[in-house]
Amino acid sequence: MNAFDNAFEVKWTVIFLLEYLFIMLPFPFFYDTSYTPWMFGVPRFIYCWLAYGLFVILTIVAWWRACLMRPEYHEYEDKE
């Protein structure tokens, strides 16, 4: 099985690659060299990392649920 075998694999490969590329860009809300306080005095980038981490986890859950609906995941081998 390859990441580019069918439309389902291509779609999810592109989604996860875009998430990876987005986090690698040096946006100031992920990478801050100066102290920028936000709620309760915690630096802003901490909240942004937590929000992005939650977004990635929710994307993984959506992928997992989509995988379980696919017919190839419902084929079982008979034990002899």
Q: pLDDT averaged over the chain?
A: 88
Q: Which two tokens stand for residue 69?
A: 């609906």
Residues 16-24, mean pLDDT to the nearest whole number: 94
DSSP bridge pairs for 15: none
**Six token digits for residue 40:** 């309760």
pLDDT tens, position by position, 53-66: 999 999 999 999 99
pLDDT on residue 36: 80
What pLDDT sits at residue 1?
66
3-state class (DSSP) for residue 43: strand
- Does position 75 have pLDDT exceeding 80, yes or no? no
Instruction: State yes or no: pLDDT of 77 exceeds 90.
Output: no
Residue 66 is predicted with a pLDDT of 94
Contact residues for 51 (Cβ-Cβ < 8 A; gap 6+): none
